[in-house]
Every structure is written in structure tokens, then in C-alpha cells.
Structure 1
Amino acid sequence: MDGKLVADMFPNWYLAMQQNRVVIDKPTFTSFDPWSSREYRARKDTIPVRDQSSSASTERSASRSPGARGPSRRPESRSPKRRGPRNHAPVRTSASDSNRNPPFKRPWNNQPNVNSSHYGTEFYLGVIPNVVTPNITIDIASEAQGTVQLHVPFLNLNRSERLNKGLTSLTIDHSLVKKGTFTQQRGIWIKTSTLVAVYVTSYVNHSPDTYMALPTISLGKTYMTGSFQPVDSSEKSEIMITSTFANTTIDVSSNGLVHLAEFDVTQIVDSSDLTGTIISATMPVTVISGTSCANIPPNIADCDFIVEQMFPVNAWTNIYIVPPIPPRTGYFARIQAMDEVQVFITNSSQQLYRHMLQKTFEQFQFGSEPTVIYSNGTLNFSVIQYGVGPGFDPQEGGPFMTVILGLKNYISSYIFVISPSYSNFENYLTVIIKASNKTGILLDGQPLPYMYNYTVSKPLDEYVVFVSHISTGFHNLTHIDKLVNFGALLYGFNSGSGYGYPAGMKYPGSDVAPSKTRNVINVTR
């Protein structure tokens, strides 16, 4: 029976089947995303309708004619009928549609859905100020050819380009970046025809960094930010929040309520460290955080830009392995908690215990060894790692900031990009995996050699960390056993500069990775 007829005749059953879908093995992603389809979103007033307004104060018209599609998302040249995979017929727009119940809803309920990861087809991005005017590059990793649409309202930019198999790089004019605290329509929107991974680089000589972007489907409503103390009052700790829906209200613990339209960003800067700022939103948002110029640690002069896209609170876990960053001989880590939680910290040289209070963070310094950070309860927390400045040890390098993956964030296959901007850097790949599985890692189809090898301390002594040199460009990192999950982080150094970011992630409980095969089963939960 046609899937559209099933949805019309048995809406409750069809919605339940969609919610109970479990993806196993390594699924293939298709270009059809029912949760991001504007036709589905516009079918009921209970679903927020995208707004093309250029101002955060503009309200969507309260009246709509029966069967209207709502405002167009953005100029498009395609046919009104949207073709998808089998069993997904184009949505009819008739007067009877407004009475169809229940409507399809995007699963934004603060619960991780089974397909939440860093792979996606729609991304809302932002760029915070670097110490000086940066070169901005969006690098896209894809296993298939297709198309990519780039929309930046502030720059009056709306174009479609070919999506390459491998690496596709897009450049953004630096005039999009603005210093200070403001709310304006400076968001970036990307839509692709196939599942991709996206990485955003702000590059300045001696002050670059990159963040891994999360797709719209993996965004959340609650965040805690990470940054660092700026070098002086002329530099800033920075937060940028990008709205993905019209009529979104955000509550920032340091700045109060802000109302946003789609593509609006609100940027908050301060000469003090904004780490630990709580952000709550009525709809999913993108949160970028960092510092325009930081010395890490503060007594070592370097002035390096750091940035990361924050994971939503519901992507946090309770067990982490923080890897060293050779050839550097030390690093800093911050632990953030939304709830009161007991945290244990252990490595080969020390064992610590911390009773973390609600909505706080603590900073620790570690040496050249992996560190295990965990809690015995069910409460989750976040860990952020900071690379150190060039005077910390005799090795080259500079500060960076990266979100650390918890064990439940690991996946079994990564496609990723190291920006060509880092061609003059020493670039490294860190893999965290059980020792019994380490020989099965393949990089671009070949066994992965490693330069540094570390054993993790108890209670996770079955894990190892190894670090390898890696080139810039597109890469595919897999394991010969498709059921083996492992963590992957990227970082690099040159004289006085550093960068670092995760290669990928998933939500706890999700099982998703790109592949050429797809197996779908329905289960009763």
C-alpha cells in the first residue's frame, strides 16, 4: 500500500511506526528528510512555520488560507512536487489537509532520537569574531555526489553548487563577522541532497580554529557554553546562538530573554570568561562558543582564537577518556555539570574525586597520559579539552578548544575533513578504542599506523589511545568490524598555533553512520 495513503488513513499508527524505527548496521542516508520538509512543517499551526523575516521582531501572520503552503523557505527553481524515496509521495495541499490529525512533527522533545549524530542534510551555522579578520571556510565531507545549497541572507547570498564525492569547500565573505553584542540576521544555512559532515574553519595566521557542525536534527534546546578568559579587556569571550525557527525565544543566564526569527543570531561578548553560561530556548538552536584571543594557561602569552560548537545537554554522557595531545606534554580540561553529580578522575599518576554542584564547572591540568573522568550514577556531564600555548613546553603549538566525546558518543565509521588551510601544520588523528579491536582500524581503506600509543588507566584499562600523523583533506575512518564503536579526535600544531575538534559523534543510544547499505527493522519498545 502507498505510504502516503497509510499516513492519511492511519495517522496515529503511521506516526508510531516512524518513532519506533530502529536503524542497525551502517545505514545509507537518503536525500529525503521528512522532519525538515517544509510541507510537513507547515501543515498545522502547531508546527512552527519558517519565517523569511529579516528582523527578530517581525511576527508571522496569524491568518492563513486553508490549504496554503505557507511562506517559501527560500527561492528555489525546483518543481513544487517534491520527490522522495518510495512510500513518500508528495504532500497534497488541499483544504482537507488542515483537518488531518495528527500532523507530522519534528522530534524536538529533548530526547535523543535514534538517528541523531553529526551527519545531516541541513545545518544552521554561525561565525564568531577572531582576533583579526579571518578567512572563513565551510568544508563538507560526503560519500556521494549531489548538490549543496548555501543561503546567507545578510550577504544576499543564495546559490546551489555541485557537491563532490569527498571534499567540497565553500568560502564565506568575512563581512558576515561582526564584533560586539548584537542580534541580527547573520546566520548561515546549508542544505545538501545527501548526508554529509560539516566543519567550519576561521583561519588567521597564528590564530586559527575549526568546529564540527551539528545538523538541525541533532540540535537541542538547552546548552552550557565553554570558552576561556580573554587576554585583556580589548578581547572577548564569545557566544553566538543561531535560530533555526521563527518565533524562537532564548533565555541566556548572563543576558536575559531574546526573541529571534529564522536565520537571526544573537551574539554575546564579555571581557570575562563566559564558560558555564546556561542557554535555554523554546526551539532548537545552534550554539557556538569561544574566545577571540586567549592565553592558555593565562601566564603564557600567545593570543590564540578558540571556538567550538557546543553539544546539547541531552548529548552529554557520564564516562569520558580524555586523550593526551602529543607531542605536547600537557593539557587542561574543564568539567561542566547541569546537576549535582559525583565525578571521579583517574590516570596513572593521580586519583581525584569531585562533588560537582549544580550548574558549575571546574578546571584541571593533566600531563601526557589519558585521563578517565566518570560518574557512577545516571547523571551526565560534559568535558572540554584545551590545548596549551607554545611556552608551556619546548614543543611547537598553540591553544585550542575541543569538546571531548563520551564513550556513548563513539561511532563505528567517520567521514571527515581536515581543512586544506592546515597544509603547513603537523596534523594528528587520535583514536580511542578497546585494545582488542585496535588492529582493525582502517584509514582510507588501509591499516592505520600510529606514532604514539597509550594504555588507559583503571577502570577503563581495556581501552587504548593511539595517535597518528594525517594529511589534510577528506578521509574515511572505519573498523573492519562494523559493530565496533570508537572515538576520533583531530588536532594540529604549527609555530604558535593550534586547532582541535571531534571527527564526529552520536547521541547516547543512537546507532548511525554513513554506509552504502541500509537495514531497517521495526520493533516494539
Structure 2
Amino acid sequence: VNNNVVRLTYEAGDGNEIELHYTGSGISIADVTDLEGNEAGTIFQIPVTLDFVSAGAVTDDYTTDAGAAFPGLHYESVSGTLTFAPGETTQIIDVPILSDQDVDPTVDFYIQLSNPTNASLIDDIGQVIIFNDDHSGIPDSLGTEFWVSIPENWVSYDYAAYIEETGAYDPTTSDTPTDYSSGFFLSISSEFGATGVITAPGIAESIEYSVEPGEVTTVRLWDELEPYGYDYRSWEQGPEAVSPYHGLTDQVLPVGVHVTADSEVSVYAMAIQPFTSDGFLVLPTDVLGTNYMLASHDFFRMGRWEYAGNPVGHSAGSQFQVIGIVDNTQVQITPTSSFTRVDYPVVESGDPDYVPEVVQAGQTYTITLNRGDVYSLRADHAGVDFTGTIIDANAPVAVNSGMTCANVPVEFPACDTLVEQMTPTNTWGKEFVVNPLEGRNVDRLRIIALEDETQIQIGSQTIQLDAGQFEVFDLANATRVTSDKPISVVQYSTGSDYTGEFENLRKTIGDPMMILIPPVEQFLEHYVVTSAVHRNDDNYLSLIVPTAAINDLTINGQYVDPGVFEVVDGSDFSAGELYVEDGFYSADAPLPFGITVYGFADYESYGYLGGQTFIPLDANADIQLDPAAEMLVVGDTHYVTATVIDLDTNLPLAGVRVDFEVTGTHPNHFWGRTNSSGEVIVHWSGNLAGTDQIQATALGDTANASADWFGAFPTIEIVSPQFGSEFEHGSTVLITGKVESGSPEARIVSLTMDNDRIATVDALGNFFVTVELPLGTSTFDFEVFNSYGASATTTLSLEGIFESDRDPNEDSLNELASITELYAVTSFDERTDILYADLSIKNTSELPISKPFLLGVRNITDPTVQLLNIAGYWEDGTPYIDLSAQIYNSTLAPGSRTFFNPIEFYAPQRNPFEYEFVLLGGENEPPRFTSIPIINARGGEDYAASVTAVDPDDDSLTFFFVSGPTGMIVENNYDGTASLVWDNVPSAAASFPVKILVRDSRDAETTQSFVVSVVDPSINHAPLIFSQPVTDANAETDYSYTVVANDFDGDPVSYAVSIIRSGDLSATELAGIDGSGKPIVYDPVTGEIAWTPQGADVAQYDVVIDADDGRGGTDTQRYVLYVHPVPGNHPPLFTSAPPETISSDSPFEYYATAIDPDLDDLVFTMPVFPSGALISLDG
């Protein structure tokens, strides 16, 4: 349309008619995956595109939606509107990512498009994946710092380089030497990309490298760093070309190579020579150890190759290297074979008196390494094998071991170089699975023991080895190897001619090489490996995978054909060999598995460990589970955290595999690895009620926990009063709350307060209980159980106070203007310049004024005048005095006035002055119910319940019926009580919500809601005594206790009291009703007990009180009453709190108040005081 593409949709009409609708361009949002990053400011950019240009403006709304990633934790939420101007087809949504260096899982979120204009939505949801790139804390083969050295090869790298440079004839081969590349290489790979630097102490230049994500960078190291590098150009170019490192059999040289990276990389070393190649995994410095035991091989050749009478090769001997990474590292070496320490320049000089030193097997010697130093030892005599040699250092070191050119077995050609970097002995394991190399007749295994009397099972064969001993086996089938103590297992490719015990087998390509086999305990679930030896015809990944996971193994994101695997007898693993091309490989499985890499060409091979964890398996591990016990609702998710530490160091152990075995209601098995904090979290959801037992195992230690699943959890809340509310001590407080069972299928079976049953719980879960509040803080613990056995708790804290101690809170007071001041005696002290005036305040309003009664003084006309006897300051700076103590009862009634109280002013100028009073008085507080409602009504009978309430301001109260069943009314008694009555209750069972209201004379009101249930009249609920007994009395002092019981059916309760002196064998009854003649009198209707004991009555008394509802329901309270002698004098108790700070350069006044338990008159003195302070006799 006018050279513009438009989008149309159609709807079918009648016959051949259709309706066309213009829908505009199509809008699509892309899916984006990017790295989380480590620094603040990371922004993910998500493209939104139109599929063709629009002639008009296009708009579209967008917003982020959480997935596994959460806003505020992983990213910042964004929303808005995109606008495409005419001609534009792309817009970008920027989403800030909350980058950090904490280990997180890879998570995702979504962006939702909506409300397009002049366009239609084609793809309206974009998935954004935040790929975690933080270091996991797992001690594995990935790292940012490495130290490596070049082990001696059969042919010097310098010599091979010379052959390549000149095209000269290679005396060791008949091939054209320029067909291949020789040298010592590092293959560096990274999942996320990295840059780094390679340096060496003796090399002035450095190598800077970069590696792209998912790629491999190969770097050739300096040939002259080969420690025994005899420059074989010397026999063509003269002695001046001899390598400076040509010399001793063993020596310390500064030939270490330092590799650094700005993010984690994996590094593999490749020793490439014509027909003598091998490789090894380079370990990062954070997993290096201090103790190693070597794996090598024996040999039969003596000395070095020669050509035309000239030395052209190295000795084909057993060798190893130790690399220092810390200055002044002391290394003790205990070889398992004797060797001769030869100084080759001296030998070549023909000195007839030179006698080489012999180092005996088992003889320990010490060397010192600085950072970057390399100690190298190569044996030159047949029969020397350094396998089992111990390297022990006082700081971490790296160790290479192998052989310059080994025949495996020694009598079969051809020889090839062997090298692997050794793993620390504390990472050795007890279970291994080994598969034969692809395309080979038979392989060789060496099993090395770390400790004496190690029992080893190889397939069906059992052997015993002592520390440093090894056993050699031919390997033709996948085999499981186990032991009772740590061992090392090394796999060797044999010479091409070797067929083992099998005859008439064809020769195979390849040559000897060695691979360290990872222990099962150190398997990982993710590896990054490389296969980048270009002149090998065949490259393979050897995979040892749990049989349960072979269908889920991926290489570079592609599933591996499970048909390549075969089950390994006697194990839970399957083994397979996978052919691969040269390159980078990322291998993943849901369960930990093992991987090695190798390859073959004609008379050539290489192989190395693909990776593993380097957890110290000998750690004194301790595992703890949190929570140890948990209660959950069916449908919830249970999270369990295991923490693993080393008890010897009290440090967390990272990378440890923790296995969780869940038995019971939800049997399952989980596993995970600890992070850098030694923690791993697993979770599962419960769909059945019952109990799960959890056992976690790590490094030989176990911990147990449990989880109880319930169909639902009950809930409980306190409706009133609020937590921390204050009441006059000794008052009765009604606590109301609400409980719910948690589900329709559950019911409440128990509700307690401080382990005592709460009986009044209506059909909707409203509950009511009363307490008598003592002086001080009282805490009440509530607990509810439902029929599933699940529980919930809550706590209420209340304060019992003297009413005079109630703290005035300015925010809760009202400014009251209807007052008049009255003065009595006024005087002026000329010595102190203080004006005294006896002041009384009259309430001229029509409503009472509640305590606290605070009188502020404002607008004093003389700025030199100051109010002295202040109680404090309001927020606006106004000083005030507290007249609450000058009010009789709790309120100042209309027309009433306070007692006279002195007000004091400091007037240094003695001039007349004026001021204003402002009064803050307490708000009218609403009344509160104190009665527990009767929630049961007997069908066919009358219902009556007493209703009581109190008003904090002593206002008169009126009760009202708000809602409920027809016929229910409230009858007021106008004394703070009322009756809730319902005549002729229906017989049919039913429940009726009821609401009643109490209102004071100033219109403050409170409601009480509950449910009255009609019950079978034959059912009776016994009364419950809830009052707390008074257990102490004094001679010649009146004793009184009123027992109070609630009857939940509203039946009247009568009381019977028995009081007998403890130890009275005749059991003389001392209690009776009025007129009985007994010394102790009780009222059977009110439950009041009264007595004035005398001096002869001092003793203990057993008290039994029965409450009877007249329908067979009773409750009993028992206590011991202690009658004490006539009390003596007791010290008074301060009730006022002094201020902690005062204003400098201002008069200060504090009014002290106290009470006396014996009601004695009090006199105040001040034994310790600052200069100038005075106190009056009344405080």
C-alpha cells in the first residue's frame, strides 16, 4: 500500500465475502542470555523489533516479571512504553542487573509486552537468563593463577625447533620434520572469556593472551626453560650454543612459568615432540598441597641417545619436578629408588677423579625453593622408578612426575614421554572406575598405596599394599577399584606391539602415555576440557557416568548417545569412550561423573586428567543440619541447610559433596556441594502428612534432622489488649483472641494459656480468658493444636502498674482550654529570687479531665524568668508541671479543682511578669469488657449471661445489644454490669454470631463479638476456677480472697470452702458460712473468703475450694495459705523515676514520690548531692 508493507487479518463472511482488518507491523521481543558480572552497573539490553517498517508511530508497553530471578535480588524491575518512530524497527529495553561476586544459581526472568498501537504482538514474552559467572568456591581445576614447568622430553625442544627452522635432517626419524610442530604448549580455555599474562623469572618478555568464551587459546612456552635442555645445535653450531641449564642430574633452576587470568580458566600443558608427546592438567595454586606421592615408570635404557658420536637425546629415565610458589619453601624428598647424581659437564670433560654421588632409596634430603624455582630430577640408570617417592613441603608446591621416554611394558616398543601433574595426597580417594582406552588391545594400571596395610579390591581380585608400594595390572575391561585407605590409580597406554595375554591381536596405533584416574569422591558434575593436539588422528573423552544419568549427559549442550555406555560390573556407573574433534568441550550431567582426555596417532599419544575436585578427603569433617526439626504444612517447601567444617581448623570446607537421604513420608535422595561458606541447601515439597527423617553424609560424618508435615497449621492471634498495654495492678483483664484450624478438614483440639486450658472458644475460633494482673511485667504464652497435631504459638506481655506511675505521652493527650487557675498563698524569697504561689486548677468544662494532668507555662513576658519545679518539656520546648497527683481518683470532674500545689518561678530582675497556662489532659479512654461471654445456650431453655466492663476514666457505662439471634437483649444494671438474656432458646442446634457494645458517658465505646451455639440441654460443661488465690496473710491483718469461676453454660455457681490447719490430726474445719461460728467465713454465692488471723494462728493451712454449677459440674482449687507474724517495719519504695539528663545553665527541679508498705508517713532527705542542691521534706 503506497510502497509500504501492511499486515492484514481476515474473518470469513457470507459466501465469498471476507473482512480484512489492518493490524500493522508485528512486534517481537528477543530472548537474551548474558553474564551476571561482578561490578555494579551491569545492564542487560533486550531488543524489541518490528518485522517491517511502519508508516506511523508504533508504541508498546513492557514490564518485567519474576521467574527464578527476583526483583531486588537479581535485577531491578522496569516498566514503560517503547515508541518506534516511522522508519524505526528496533528499540532496546535496558534492565539493570544486580551484579556481585556471590555464588548464585543461573536464574531467569521475563519481559511481557502489551497494549500495542498500530501493530500486533507476534512474540510478546522475552526470557532473560542471568548466567552466573562467580567463582563457586569449589576447589577444582579452574583458576586464575597457575605455576607450571617444562618437564624434560626425549628430544630437546631447542633441537626440535632447530630442525624445524632449518629443515635439517632429523636423525631420530625418517620423516620430513616440517610436517608437524614441536614445542611445549599451554591450551587455555574459558567458558566466559578471559585475558591474562604468562611470565617466567628468567625471561624478560611476557606473553599476553586472550581467550574467547567457549574457545581455546594455545600458547607456546620458551624452549630454553626446559631444565635439562642441551642445545643440540651445539654439535652443528659449536659449544657456544650449549644451554645454560645443561648440567646436573638434579638441580634447582629459575624456570617456573607463571600464568594469570582475570577470570577462571582451565589450563592443559602439552609436550609435543616427534613421537614423544603427552599432556597434563595444570592445577591452579588454590588447590596445591604440601604432600605428594609420585607415580612414574621404570625403564631399561642407559644414558642418552647419540648420533655420530654426539649426544642428541636425553636419558629415558624416571623424572619429576617440584615448583615453588612461595619463597623459602623447604621441601623434603624421600626417593623410593637409589639414583646417581651426575655432573655432566665434568663427565664430558674427562676428569678421571670424578665420582658421582649416590643417593640411596629411603634417604631423605632437603632442598629450598623460592617462588618460580623448579627442582628437577631425572634418573640415568636402568631400573630406577620414582613411583612412591614422597614430596613433603612446608608450603604448597606443584609437582610433575613421569618419564622422559618410557616403554610400557619396558620390553615393548616404542618409548614415549610420560607426564602428569600430581594431586596432593589428601585428595586421594578410595573408589575408582577405569575404562580401557579406545582402539587399544590392553592398557596398564598402577595402583599406589598411601598407607600401610591397604586392602584393595580390583574387580574380583584382592591385594594388600603398604605405603609407597604399587601393583601393576593389565586392563582389558571396565573395572571398579576400591580400597579401605587412600590410593592413587594411574592408567598407562601401552606400546603399539603389546597385546598382553592375548595372542594374534593386531598392532594398534599410539604409544605410551599416562593418565591420573580421578577418584569417584572427587567427581564433578561440570567440566571444561580441551582436545587440541592437531597431529593426533583420534581424540577421545573417556566418561565414567552414573548409570542413572547417562540419558542426561551433554557435551557442548548436546545430549550424548547413551548407546556409547556399558554398565561397569559391581558399580553404579557406566563407562563410554566418545570420539571428538580438536577443540573446546563443556560436559555436564545432573550427577557427578569422571572425565579424562586422550588421543592417538602413529606411534604417538597423549592423555590427561580432565578435571576433578580437590577436596581434602582426610579432613576431620563435622556436618550440621539446620533446622534440626521443623513443622510444615502439606504443600509447603522444606529447606535444609547442611554446614560442613573442618574440626581441626574450624574453617568451612568448600566443594564437599553432601548426600541427603530422606526416609519416611517423602523418601528421596538429594545431593549438593558446599559453597565457600561450607553450606549447601536442598529442598523438597511435601504432599502428604507425616514425618520425614533426613540423614546427611559428608566425608564420613553424618547428621540427622526431621520434618513433620501436617495437613494444615493452626493460627492464633491476640485481638486485645495490645502487646505491652498497661493496667492498674490487681485489675482483671480480659484477653480476647482468634484461632483457626488451618483447613476445613482440621479442627482445634487444644488451646492453652501458660499450659492451662482455655475453655471459652466459640464456633468461629474467638477465645476469651481473664487474668489478674500483678505489679510488673506479666508474660502469657498461648499455644493451639489442631487435629493434625500441628501447633502455633503466640505471646502477650502486659504491664501491671500504679496508676500514678503511668508515663504521660504527649501524643496521646489533648489540649484543654476550659480551665481556671486559683491562687492561695504567694510569697517571694529575696535571698534566692524565687517566687512561690500555691496553685489550683478548676475544670470549667462540661466533661471530666482524665489523668495525666500536665500544666504547661508559655509566653512568659520577662525572658529572665524561669519556671523551676518542672516535670519535663514538650516537643515545642514548653516546660510543664505534673498535677496528676493533685487529682482525687482518676479524673477531674466538671466544676472540681485540683489540690493546691506550689508553682515556683526564678525572677532575678524582680519585675512583674505575665504568663499563660496550657493544659494537656488525657483523652477519654474507651471502656473495656472484663467478662468472658457465655458461648453455649441450652436448646429449649433460657439463656442468661453476666456482662461486665470497666472504664479507665470512671465514666458511667451503658451496654447495648448490637446484633444476634431474635429475642436476645441486654438488660443494663447501670453499675458497670448488665445481663445478656435470651428466653426460650430454640431447640435445633445452630450457631448465632452475637455483638454487644459498651459505651461511656463521653461516647467512647467498645464492642465484643462472639458466637453462641445452641447445644443439647443434657450436655453440661463444668465451671472453671480462673482466679489466682491469695496465699499469704499476716496476723492481726484482714485476709480476703474472692474465688471466681466461669461457667460456660451460664449456670449460677456456688462455692464451698474447707480450711484445715496443716498437721491437725483431728482435721478441725475452720471455714464456714456466715453464722456458722467458724473463725473463717466464706460467702457461697460470691465466693469471698474473709478472716482476721491472730498471733496464735500463725501456721500453714490447707485450703480446698469447690465450685458447683448445680448440674453436676464442679471444679476444685487447692492451695496452701501461709499466716505470718505481725509485720514489722518495711522500707518505703520509690515510685518516681528521676530524669537522666538536665539542661546546663538552667534551674532544675525533680519531685520524688514513694509509697510505704506499712502506710507510715515519709520524710525525704538527700545524703549525697551536688553543691547548691536542696530537697524539701515532702520530696
State TM-score, norm by structure 2. 0.33
Which residue identity does 2:480 align to in structure 1? V
Answer whether contact 1:397 1:496 (CA < 8 A) is retained. Answer: yes
Aligned-residue offset at 1:364: 1.7
- Partner of residue 386 from structure 1, selected from 461, 470, 492: 492
Deviations 1:354-396 (A, max 9, x none): 11112322222222x1111112x3x211111111011014221
Matched, 1:225 2:274: no
CA contact 1:450–1:468 (8 Å) conserved in 2: no
Superposed, 1:319-468 pairs within 5 Å as: 319-347=431-459, 351-367=460-476, 369-375=477-483, 377=484, 379-393=485-499, 394-419=507-532, 421-449=533-561, 452-458=564-570, 460=571, 462-468=572-578
Q: 2:137 touches 2:675 (CA, 8 Å); kept in 1?
A: no
Q: State the SS of the aligned residue for 1:239.
A: strand
Does the 8 Å contact 1:411/1:511 carry over to 2? no
For 1:392 and 1:29, the matched residues in 2 are separated by: 52
Q: Match of 2:206, SS?
A: strand
Q: Are positions 1:492 and 2:599 aligned together?
A: yes
Change (3 A) 1:138 1:523: closer
Distance 1:469 1:29, change over 3 A: farther
SS of match in other structure, 1:154:
coil
**Of residues 145, 170, 194 in structure 2, which corresponds to 1:122?**
145
| Corresponding letter in the other structure for 1:355 | Q
2:412 match: secondary structure: coil
Aligned to 1:267: 376
Whole-Å separation in 2 of the counterparts to 1:266 and 1:30: 40
How far, CA to CA, are the matches of 1:454 and 1:29 in structure 2? 39
Look up the match of 2:198.
150
Q: Does structure 2 retain, via aligned residues, the 8 Å contact 1:31–1:192?
A: no
Q: Deviation at 1:160?
A: 3.0
Distance in structure 2 (CA, Å) of the matches to 1:210 and 1:199? 7
> Which amino acid in the other structure matches residue 242 of structure 1?
I
Q: Does the alignment pair 1:294 with 2:406?
A: yes
Q: Which residue does the alignment assign to 1:172? A: 221
Moved more, 163-172 or 137-146: 163-172
Q: Which moved more, 1:388-397 or 1:235-244?
A: 388-397
The one of 655, 659, 667 equivalent to 1:511 is 655
Q: 1:434 to 1:146 in 2, by over 3 A?
A: closer
Q: CA offset at residue 485 of structure 1?
A: 0.6
- Structure with larger Rg: 2
Bigger proportion of residues as helix: 1
Which amino acid is the alignment partner of residue 416 of structure 1?
V
Measured at CA, do residues 341 and 370 of structure 1 come closer, stay the same or move farther in structure 2, by a change above 3 Å? farther
Whether the aligned pair in 2 keeps the contact of 1:30 and 1:194 (CA below 8 Å) is no
- The amino acid of 1:328's aligned partner reads R
Specify the alignment match of 2:427 in structure 1. Answer: 315
Aligned residues: 406
Q: Secondary structure at the match of 1:397?
A: coil
**Which residue in the other structure is 2:127 paired with?**
none
Q: Deviations over 1:320-355 (max 9, x none)?
A: 1111112112111111122124333343xxx21111
Residue 86 of structure 1, CA deviation:
6.5
Q: Which amino acid aligns with 1:491?
A: Y
1:13 matched residue in structure 2: none
User: CA contact under 8 A between 2:414 and 2:603: conserved in structure 1?
Assistant: yes
Out of 574, 580, 589, the position equivalent to 1:470 is 580
1:85 Cα deviation from its structure 2 partner: 5.7
For 1:336, what is the secondary structure of its paired residue? strand
Could you tell me whether the CA contact under 8 Å between 1:221 and 1:280 is conserved in 2?
A: yes
Superposed CA deviations along residues 432-464 of structure 1, whole A, max 9, x for unmatched, are 111121011111111123785332111x1x211
Q: Alpha-carbon deviations, 1:467-504, whole Å to 9, x = none?
A: 1101111111112x3xx110011111111111111111
State the distance in 1 between where 2:385 and 2:515 align. 16
Q: What is the aligned partner in structure 1 of residue 1054 from structure 2?
A: none
Q: TM-score if structure 1 supplies the norm length?
A: 0.73
Q: Is the CA contact 1:451–1:467 (under 8 Å) kept in the aligned structure 2?
A: no
Q: Give 1:243's aligned residue.
A: 324
Partner of 2:1138: none
Greater length-normalized contact order (CA 8 Å, ≥ 6 residues apart): 1
Pair 372,147 (structure 1): closer, same or farther in 2 beyond 3 Å: same
Hey, what's the Cα distance between the residues in 2 that align with 1:154 and 1:31?
A: 35
Amino acid at match of 1:253: T
Alpha-carbon distance in structure 2 between the residues aligned to 1:325 and 1:450: 18
Give, as a single letter, the amino acid of the residue that structure 2 aligns with 1:395. Answer: T
SS at match of 2:202: helix
Distance 1:226 1:451 in 2: 34
Q: 1:29 to 1:373 in 2, by over 3 A?
A: farther
Task: Kindly state the Cα deviation for residue 30 of structure 1 after the two structures are TM-superposed.
Answer: 8.1
Q: Is the 8 A contact 2:401 2:422 kept in 1?
A: yes
C-alpha deviations, 1:158-195, integer Å up to 9, x for none?
34332332212111121110224210110010110111
Residues 104-160 of structure 1: per-residue CA shift (max 9 Å, x gap):
xxxxxxxxx962111111001011111002301101110122311111112223343
Q: 1:204 offset after TM fit, Å?
A: 0.6
TM-superposition CA deviations, 1:377-424 (whole Å, max 9, x none): 3x21111111101101422111110110110111011111112x3343
AA of the residue aligned to 2:210: R
> Secondary structure in 1 aligned to 2:565?
strand
Q: In 2, Cα distance between the equivalents of 1:384 and 1:140?
A: 24
CA drift at 1:425: 2.1
Paired with 1:241 and 1:434, the residues of 2 have a C-alpha distance of: 35
Instruction: Give the partner amino acid of 2:250.
Output: T
Return the structure number with greater strand share.
Answer: 2
Q: Which amino acid aligns with 1:380?
A: P
Between the aligned partners of 2:487 and 2:189, the Cα distance in structure 1 is: 29
1:184 alignment partner, one of 242, 247, 253:
253
SS in 1 for 2:592: coil
Quote the Cα distance in structure 1 between the aligned partners of 2:581 and 2:448.
33
Correspondences of 1:26-65 after superposition (within 5 Å): none
SS in 2 for 1:436: helix
Provide the C-alpha distance between the structure 2 equivalents of 1:114 and 1:503, rounded to a whole number of angstroms: 19
Identical-pair percentage: 24
Listed as ranges, the matches of 1:82-101 within 5 Å are none
Structure 2 contact 252–376 (Cα < 8 Å) conserved: yes
SS at match of 1:422: coil
Secondary structure of the 1:246 match is coil
Q: Secondary structure at the match of 2:210?
A: strand
Q: Which amino acid in 2 is paired with 1:477?
A: A
SS in 2 for 1:157: coil
Q: Tell whether the 8 Å contact from 2:330 to 2:366 is kept in structure 1 after alignment.
A: yes
What's the RMSD between the two structures over aligned residues?
A: 2.6
Give the secondary-structure state (helix, strand or coil) at the position aligned to 2:518. Answer: coil
Provide the residue aligned with 2:773 in structure 1.
Answer: none
User: Is the 8 Å Cα contact of residues 387 and 468 (structure 2) preserved in structure 1?
Assistant: no
Distance in structure 2 (CA, Å) of the matches to 1:291 and 1:339: 24
Quick one: distance in 1 between partners of 2:193 and 2:606?
29
